[in-house]
Amino acid sequence: MKENELKELLSAYKKNKLSEHDLIKKLKNLPFENIGIAKIDHHRYLRKGIPEAILASHKTPQQVLQIWERMEKYTQNILATRANEKHFHSIKKKYPEAVFYPLSGCIILKRDNSIQGAGLVLVISGGTSDIPVAEEAFLTLDMLGYRTEMLTDVGVAGLHRLLHYQEKIREAKVIIAVAGMEGALPGLVAGFCAAPVIAVPTSTGYGSHFQGLASLLTMLNSCSPGIAVVNIDNGYGAACVAALIIGTKAQIAGANPCVRPSKHKGK
């Protein structure tokens, strides 16, 4: 539940448009709800500005749907990560407006299109094989309501591809750089822009890349200042860090939200 939604409930109660019984009914499961298989943190948006997401991997379609149904009572936008077709079909039957992105495994229900934050978050991926992780970051930010764009396949093996987008890179207020192999992309990007860079190592590469450990160590050892590193393949975690950074900038700047429809298409 967002702060503005809580204010609307209290205002409705104050104006006698909502009974005390109905108000208590809507609030009684805050801050969390125990449904047996999970304890759903409905209060997280009020605390952090980021709602709880459903990690679908190692959950049955029925478990994901059960959690989804309870979350839908309290939030307009819902995200399930690392999902598959079976998870999606269980949700789609009851929520036909839900969208599935097979490449990243994200399922999204988005009813609130208001924009948060102050400026652009740019997600950059080194190679095509890194797109699933980059897309997870992009979709998480889009679901949260942040202005987000994505550049793909602009890794250091063809530096001219990255330099072609220098203007866009310098426009961004926060950058998420996703790369496997040797993981040099975040350090390079951070070297010619003022924005904080969130580095995401991926488990892609040839030979002894150690499932992403090689790129993780490169990113941790980068000499470019202003880089934060999340865990291997953690696009969702990178998006949450970016949201906190740009959300704080908005609070400082006093930015006002606007409305933008999502242009990224799934199925």
Q: Other CB atoms closer than 10 Å to residue 111's CB: what's the count?
A: 10
Q: Other CB atoms closer than 10 Å to residue 150's CB: what's the count?
A: 20
Q: Other CB atoms closer than 10 Å to residue 188's CB: what's the count?
A: 19
Q: Where are the domains of the chain?
A: 3-109, 116-253
Q: Worst-scoring range by mean pLDDT, 93-97, 148-152, 156-160, 175-179?
A: 156-160
The whole-chain average pLDDT of the chain stands at 87
Encoded tokens for 197? 């860079």
pLDDT of residue 171: 93
**CA distance linking residue 257 with residue 243, whole number of Å:** 14
Determine the residue type at 58.
H
Query: In this model, does residue 250 exceed pLDDT 60?
Result: no
By C-alpha distance, which of 23, 89, 26, 34 is closest to 56? 89
Domain 116-253 has CATH 3.40.50.1970: yes
Query: In this model, does residue 266 exceed pLDDT 70?
Result: no
Give pLDDT tens digits for 225-247.
Answer: 999 999 999 999 999 999 999 88
Give pLDDT tens digits for 2-44.
Answer: 667 778 878 888 888 888 888 777 766 667 777 888 888 887 8
Query: In this model, does residue 199 exceed pLDDT 50?
Result: yes
Give pLDDT tens digits for 76-125.
Answer: 899 999 999 999 999 999 999 999 999 999 999 999 888 887 789 999 99
Residue 134 banded pLDDT, cuts 50, 70, 90 = very high
DSSP characters for 21-65? Answer: HHHHHHHTT-S-EE-SS-EE-TTHHHHHS----EE-TTS-HHHHH
Chain-centre distance for alpha carbon 141: 4
pLDDT of residue 259: 39
